[in-house]
Chains A and B, each alone.
Chain A
Amino acid sequence: MNKFILSIIFIGLGIGSSNAATYDEKFFKKAAEIVWAMELPDFNPTVEIPDTSLYDGESAIILAAYTGVNIKLSERFNLSKFSSTGKEFTSATDAKITTRIMIKLNDSKAVEEYSEFDIDSKDKESISNYSYQYTNSAFGARIHKPSGEIINVDCKEAFTVTSGKGRKEKAEEHKIAIPGLEPGDVLEYFYYDETWLDEFDLDPIIFTFAQRYPIITYKIECNIDPTLTLEYRNLNGAPLLYGGPVKDGIRTLEVTAIHLAKREFGNWMSPARQIPYIKMRVLNNNSTLTYRPKSARRGGIFCSLPIKHYFDDISYILHDFDPPVKIVSRATKITKKYIGKHPNLTQRQIIDAAWLATVYSALIDEGTHSNIALSTYFPDVLKKLKIKNDIGIGVINSIKDVPITEILHWKDPDYMNMVGDSCYIFTGDFCFKPGEHIGEYEGEEAAVFWGDRKEFDQISAVMIQLPTSRASQNTFRTDINASLNLDDNNIIDINRTVTFKGAVKSVASKLIDSGRYIKRIEDFLEIEEKDRHKLKNDSVKIKEKHEKIFRAEAESIIGVEPRDILSYNITEIGATPDEPNVTYNMACNVDGLVKRAGKDLVLSIGKLFGNQTEITGSKRERKSAIVLESPSQNRYVLNFTIPDGYIVNETSLSMVNKNIINECGAFYAQAKVSDNILTIQINERYLHYVIPIEKWDKFLEIIDARAAFSNTSIVLNHK
């Protein structure tokens, strides 16, 4: 047999008999040789840990961390690509990324946390017989004992999790439990990932400078082929990458950061705006098989590129986008019919109706419609309706993401529309009406392209800023009527009406599903029964789900789990101009709040005013600004019928009153008795949506007062 035939047989045998249940030993060995040979003097297991509060009392300390990114462009002849696409050569991003960590494990908790690792197995993605992506990952580890002994972890101890059956069985991942690990050890491990990706772009690479545990030294090195396009930003105070030596025509970018505090976790945070990190994209703008905007940079390194360049990309994306005709047609038809039934509509009312019709048409369509797509449908609908207002398509980010001036790619922001001064954006919450101010975007800058989308390639974006709101515009109000149950006066019967207004409606979004939203739009736009969408949802299952949600909602808003929920009804969902708020009614009862003191009663009235987050212990120490979604105001009004034979103790009544006011907001409670009704009102207000850390104490004053109110009791003396 000649060699060629032999090699075919060997390959055939290899495929048929490949043992899916083992890791790629050769690849792991190659990775280990590469990684362990790296000269990284910071990886010293006996490095002295500075005696600072940064490292005191931690379960683990990262002594050294390293991320190395090496990416080249690979252009080679590929027959299967040619037969599938007509293009003979690959234009592939060939990436090798190394993450290496040395961590000192101070206690058993840290040992538990770092004793098990998952490793992705080799994988590929194909279309027909053209494989456009290959990935493979390797792992290695060694233990530095306090005695100085170094124990190499043998990856043969890894287990392979497989899927598939028989000849189609393949490895999904590998799992390894590190043997011999004990508190006091220094564990050193790495991940080595290789990705070969043809035509498409890699996912963004994020270098975070605040991890689970404090870090003594963190080094980053990047070597990127100059024919690829490297764009990155350093955010929230992350250091810049510096140009290092040039090797094989590629300049190394690197940075070393030291003494990095561990990541802060807590309430009211926006990690995208508070944690220092570098976000990097390596783009293959040479690709001719995937869409690239005309303005895309073809090769080079770009650090913190002026935002105009990304806005130019966006202008081309929007210019080039071809929306499906049926969405725009359907929306236009629905709106025209609605206008026909209401000839005296104002311009604004028509625009709002057109928005609802557009969102509705996209929702009921079986395809998936992105935010970008929706932002192009709406202006097209308005154009067909001959609306003359200033109409634009814009991009914006919420406070949970980076500001719009710091995006790194046209896919990064949220897309919206401006019509005059009003912003139309669909966030996936079904409780906001057209053009409504949505809290998480308030005060944010947006970049808007005004006019005809087909001319966007010739114009620049105009920067605008969305207005901020006042606390009184975003209110949550609960009106509670309560009384002792006639049959059992250990039980309090409650009837509540809850109203969410403005930005705080997002809290109520879980109560409103797409089915209810669709029906509301159909009712509002007076769509005829025969033309309505046939929902495939199971109404019984939805009802069950709602009951569970309402029970949880009741517990959250009342403050204790209700004993029985007797009824509930959502009367408004806040999605249409005629019903701008979310409102629901609920009847329920609770027990355990009426306590006996001889003949007197003590009502744990504070428990009826909702659960308030209590900030205790280490959470009271904070370093980052407080980020809320919007200024807001929460108001409760309780009317409690005083049972026959009792009067409210005056001193006890006066003790309910509280008044805390400071520059962050206020907490106010007042109680009075009139005509046998005990009325308690509380008002909790937050004036700003971003509060600087210097004002944390002031903010806590309000939070503490609110939390303390849940302990409020009222004495009812027996007459």
Chain B
Amino acid sequence: MITTYNIIRAICLFLFISISAVGLCNATDNVIIDNAIETYTIIASKDGQNIEKVKAKIETTYTAQRTDEKVIAGLSYNNFSSVDKASAPGAKPSYIPNYEEGIFYDDTKICLLYFNIKKGENATAKFEKTYKKAEYFTSISFGEGYFIRNKIVKIIVPKSIAERIKIAEKSFNSNITSSQSTGDKGETIYTYIITNQKANKPEDNAPELSTIVPRIYIYGQFANVQELYDYLRQYTLTPDPDIETVNTLAKQLTSNSNNKRESIELITYWVQQNIRYIAVEHGEYGQRPDIASEVLRKRYGDCKGMSSLLKAMLTAIGIDTRLTWIGTTSITQRWEEVPNLSSGDHMICSVIDEDSILFLDGTTAHLPIGYYTQSIQGQQALIENGDTYILKDVPIQSPYNNCDFTQATFHIEENNLIGEISKKLSGAIKMGFSTILKDFDASKRQDFINAYLRYPRKNVSISNVIIKGDSISSPFTTISATISEQDACQHLSDAIYIDLMPLRNGLIESYNLKDRQNDIQISNRQRYVSDITIVIPDGFTASYIPEDFTLNNEWFSLSIKYHATPNSITCNSNLIINKTIIPIEKASLWNNIARQVKQANGEQITLILKQPEY
């Protein structure tokens, strides 16, 4: 039914897409921010020791340079903040819910002002906002959906807490200058001036905006990590009246378990397989994990709920398991560096065993125990430890953990390569495959498997598909099939040209750099190995075998090697991706590298008719 609500929802979604994605990015855009000033005034508590609240005033002047245009100015808020005033010429504020992908329900709203600006004129949107809870005043982004000619951001800290409140700068560029001064009443004033800054522009294959848009983090609400930990921990101490159901299940599941590791696996996989991810994040539920018995009853939860259940179940069978707060790679700072709520966006568990820590993530189904997603590798984990805490980095794992090992043996029939193929997937690659497979309708899963096996070719027939190890607990998934790659060869009267394509994963590709602003992020750190053998048809011999190709750079190492015998040719390729961010200033270099790889991958094997022996 078309209701007012659905229209608003569509506008909201469109808004976020349109503000960000219309390619508004430089001074020649029609609408720019000519001038803006944001002032954040921190108000101390009565005893002068803490932050009571923060008052923000935001005034942004937009100019339409070439034609009349409608402008949308917006400011988000939630249960811990409020938009007290909002105005712009000819605009009436509307307050609409915010929809964020992956969040089922939260309390974020946006105050929107729609107004028209005539060509050559400007108009100012004004907002006043109150942050009612100091701990949620954690960061200020300097990014906008429009080009910024000039913007000033001021943070005013009262004298009584000036020593305590600190600011960390992240992702700054040369368009931003910062300074510090003292006001008449001894307050500390931090001033940031942003000039000629391009608009935020979501682009394909770009890192998270949170890691590239300049921002500041305000901390000191918690004196140190201990205070922050105490604050977070209080939310985990909710009694669970129905914990016995959780304990009973845990014991049932592990009744036949032979050892501790097996018990951990049984329980972790059970949680991953049976608890759906549904994120409810309003108010304090952004920090408070759901109690274990509720997660179990509902059969759904977010990362906090899943961790809560995982901890309870493992604890029930005597395994020392702790809740663990962590920032994924969307977060650029560590707990020690910036001890505030913005340094974490995820929760996992830690199993403590003497000197070792095993991290468990309830949300990563199909990733075997002991493997970690790239999003938490290298990140600092804040692990509960009673009244104290432990800080520990999640290990950075070898790209060898995430492997696609392809083996194939082909013979040639007319223009086709026909044979058997198998793929053995591990780590994040296995997880990706299994997760996507599960998301297909049962009746369409075969289509996906076939598409996966034949990528990137077209005109390929697949049959006799067998999948092994596709359960959640299996460390590897193996897919094997009979495959016929049509027109992969040119079978001429006296020669055969074979388009082997040893690299079949599409990972090393060039990118369109026209007007691109942001770095490029390629997939996970991973390894791709292929071993492909072609049986030389009777009467033919190898005439040309491509030279071995080796390429090493800061992002990956690649080798493609050929070996010929009288009866067969084997090609072994080995690609290891070590680094996944390509800085924009190196993107041209990357493209050149990618083209070299493409060329090497396209080299043809040539067979010719054997000369008759006399």
Residue of B nearest to A544 (CB): B23
Would you call B487 and A712 a contact (CB within 8 A)? yes
Bound form: Cα–Cα A57–B440 in Å: 12
Q: How large is the interface on A (under 10, 10 to 19, 20 to 34, 35 or more residues)?
A: 35 or more
Residue of A nearest to B96 (CB): A163
Would you call A106 and B280 a contact (CB within 8 A)? no
In this complex, the member of B109, B274, B300, B514 whose beta carbon has the largest number of chain A beta carbons within 10 angstroms is: B300
Bound form: Cα–Cα A544–B22 in Å: 9
Give the contacts of B460-495 with A (CB-CB under 8 A): 486-488, 490, 492-493, 495
Contact partner of A618 among B95, B438, B443, CB < 8 A?
A: B443
Contact partner of A58 among B4, B441, B450, B492, CB < 8 A?
A: B441
Give the contacts of A132-162 with B (CB-CB under 8 A): 135, 159, 161-162
Would you call B438 and A109 a contact (CB within 8 A)? yes
Would you call A618 and B604 a contact (CB within 8 A)? no
Bound form: Cα–Cα A619–B443 in Å: 11
Indicate whether A708 sits within 8 Å of B441 (C-beta atoms), given known contacts A135-B3, A602-B604.
Answer: no
Indicate whether A591 sits within 8 Å of B595 (C-beta atoms), given known contacts A106-B442, A177-B104, A616-B451.
Answer: yes
Report if A164 contacts B (CB, 8 A): yes
Residues of B within 8 A of A159 (CB): 104-105, 280, 282
Indicate whether A115 sits within 8 Å of B490 (C-beta atoms), given known contacts A57-B443, A600-B606, A602-B497.
Answer: no
Q: How far is the CB of B532 from chain A (nearest CB, A)?
A: 16
The segment from A116-124, A227-235, A446-454 found at the interface with B is: A116-124
Would you call B442 and A596 a contact (CB within 8 A)? no
Bound form: Cα–Cα A173–B274 in Å: 28
Give the contacts of A243-299 with B (CB-CB under 8 A): none
The segment from B65-73, B142-150, B206-214 found at the interface with A is: B65-73
Would you call B497 and A161 a contact (CB within 8 A)? no
Residues of A within 8 A of B23 (CB): 541, 544-545, 548
Bound form: Cα–Cα A478–B30 in Å: 36
Would you call A596 and B95 a contact (CB within 8 A)? no
Q: How far is the CB of A461 from chain B (nearest CB, A)?
A: 31
Residues of B within 8 A of A655 (CB): 415, 490, 492
Q: How far is the CB of B45 from chain A (nearest CB, A)?
A: 26
Contact partner of B441 among A59, A203, A561, CB < 8 A?
A: A59
When each residue 570-613 of chain A gets 1 if its CB lies under 8 Å from chain B and 0 otherwise, what string results?
Answer: 00000000000000000000011011111010101000000000
Would you call B299 and A652 a contact (CB within 8 A)? no
Would you call B459 and A490 a contact (CB within 8 A)? no
Report if B586 contacts A (CB, 8 A): no
Report if A112 contacts B (CB, 8 A): yes
Would you call B458 and A710 a contact (CB within 8 A)? yes
Would you call A541 and B22 a contact (CB within 8 A)? yes
Would you call A711 and B599 a contact (CB within 8 A)? no
Report if A563 contacts B (CB, 8 A): yes
Bound form: Cα–Cα A125–B7 in Å: 14
Residue of A nearest to B105 (CB): A159
Would you call A592 and B595 a contact (CB within 8 A)? yes
Give the contacts of B600-614 with A (CB-CB under 8 A): 602-606
The segment from A38-46, A179-187, A344-352, A401-409 found at the interface with B is: A179-187
When each residue 443-470 of chain A gets 1 if its CB lies under 8 Å from chain B and 0 otherwise, what string results?
Answer: 0000000000000000000000000000
Residue of B nearest to A182 (CB): B299
Residue of A nearest to B23 (CB): A544
The segment from A66-74, A358-366, A531-539, A693-701 found at the interface with B is: A531-539
Report if B97 contacts A (CB, 8 A): yes
When each residue 302-324 of chain A gets 1 if its CB lies under 8 Å from chain B and 0 otherwise, what string results?
Answer: 00000000000000000000000
Report if A508 contacts B (CB, 8 A): no
Report if B544 contacts A (CB, 8 A): yes
Report if B278 contacts A (CB, 8 A): yes
Would you call B278 and A108 a contact (CB within 8 A)? no
Bound form: Cα–Cα A614–B278 in Å: 36
Q: How far is the CB of B10 from chain A (nearest CB, A)?
A: 12
Report if A330 contacts B (CB, 8 A): no
Give the contacts of A180-198 with B (CB-CB under 8 A): 180-182, 193
Report if B356 contacts A (CB, 8 A): no
Indicate whether A713 sits within 8 Å of B497 (C-beta atoms), given known contacts A175-B104, A490-B595.
Answer: yes
Would you call A617 and B447 a contact (CB within 8 A)? yes
Report if A471 contacts B (CB, 8 A): no
Give the contacts of B239-278 with A (CB-CB under 8 A): 273-274, 276, 278
Q: How far is the CB of A60 from chain B (nearest CB, A)?
A: 9
Would you call B299 and A713 a contact (CB within 8 A)? no
Would you call A123 and B67 a contact (CB within 8 A)? no
Indicate whether A175 sits within 8 Å of B105 (C-beta atoms), given known contacts A165-B95, A541-B30, A596-B604.
Answer: yes
Would you call B487 and A123 a contact (CB within 8 A)? no
Would you call A551 and B512 a contact (CB within 8 A)? yes
Bound form: Cα–Cα A215–B41 in Å: 61
Give the contacts of A63-97 with B (CB-CB under 8 A): none
Q: How far is the CB of A542 from chain B (nearest CB, A)?
A: 10
Contact partner of B298 among A108, A177, A708, CB < 8 A?
A: A177
Q: How far is the CB of A579 from chain B (nearest CB, A)?
A: 27
Contact partner of A715 among B105, B443, B492, CB < 8 A?
A: B492
Would you call A121 and B299 a contact (CB within 8 A)? no
Would you call A538 and B69 a contact (CB within 8 A)? yes
Indicate whether A57 sits within 8 Å of B497 (C-beta atoms), given known contacts A182-B274, A563-B510, A597-B603.
Answer: no
Report if B499 contacts A (CB, 8 A): yes
Report if B5 contacts A (CB, 8 A): yes
Would you call B68 and A536 a contact (CB within 8 A)? yes
Residues of A within 8 A of B2 (CB): 203
When each residue 299-330 of chain B gets 1 if its CB lies under 8 Å from chain A and 0 otherwise, what string results?
Answer: 11000000000000000000000000000000
Residues of B within 8 A of A112 (CB): 276, 439
Give the contacts of B75-109 with A (CB-CB under 8 A): 83, 94-97, 104-105, 109
Bound form: Cα–Cα A713–B488 in Å: 9
Contact partner of B66 among A57, A179, A538, A617, CB < 8 A?
A: A538
Residues of A within 8 A of B546 (CB): 596
Bound form: Cα–Cα A591–B109 in Å: 47
Would you call B274 and A123 a contact (CB within 8 A)? no
Indicate whether A163 sits within 8 Å of B8 (C-beta atoms), given known contacts A540-B29, A595-B603.
Answer: yes
Would you call B443 and A59 a contact (CB within 8 A)? yes
Residues of B within 8 A of A600 (CB): 497, 544, 604, 606
Residues of A within 8 A of B606 (CB): 597-598, 600
Would you call A539 and B66 a contact (CB within 8 A)? yes
Would you call B30 and A540 a contact (CB within 8 A)? yes
Q: How far is the CB of A377 from chain B (nearest CB, A)?
A: 27
In this complex, the member of B105, B439, B544, B605 whose beta carbon has the largest number of chain A beta carbons within 10 angstroms is: B105
Report if A107 contacts B (CB, 8 A): yes
Report if A111 contacts B (CB, 8 A): yes
Would you call A713 and B490 a contact (CB within 8 A)? yes
Report if A553 contacts B (CB, 8 A): no
Report if A201 contacts B (CB, 8 A): no
Residues of B within 8 A of A594 (CB): 602
Would you call B30 and A538 a contact (CB within 8 A)? yes
Which residues of A approach B to under 8 Å, CB–CB?
A: 57-59, 106-109, 111-112, 115-116, 120-121, 123, 125, 135, 159, 161-165, 169, 172-173, 175, 177, 179-182, 193, 203, 490, 536-541, 544-545, 547-548, 551, 561, 563, 591-592, 594-598, 600, 602, 604, 614, 616-619, 649, 651-652, 655, 707-708, 710-713, 715
The contact sample of 13 A-B pairs, CB cut-off 8 A, is: A58-B443, A108-B273, A109-B439, A161-B105, A163-B8, A538-B69, A545-B23, A602-B490, A602-B497, A616-B447, A617-B444, A618-B444, A655-B490
Sample of 8 further A-B pairs with CB below 8 A, known A107-B438, A163-B5: A112-B439, A163-B109, A614-B458, A617-B444, A617-B447, A711-B457, A711-B487, A715-B492
Nearest 6 interchain pairs by C-beta:
A598-B544, A597-B604, A179-B298, A711-B487, A617-B447, A595-B602
Which residues of B approach A to under 8 Å, CB–CB?
A: 1-5, 8-9, 22-23, 28-30, 66-69, 83, 94-97, 104-105, 109, 111, 273-274, 276, 278, 280, 282, 297-300, 415, 438-444, 446-447, 450-451, 457-459, 486-488, 490, 492-493, 495, 497, 499, 510, 512, 514, 543-544, 546, 595, 598-599, 602-606
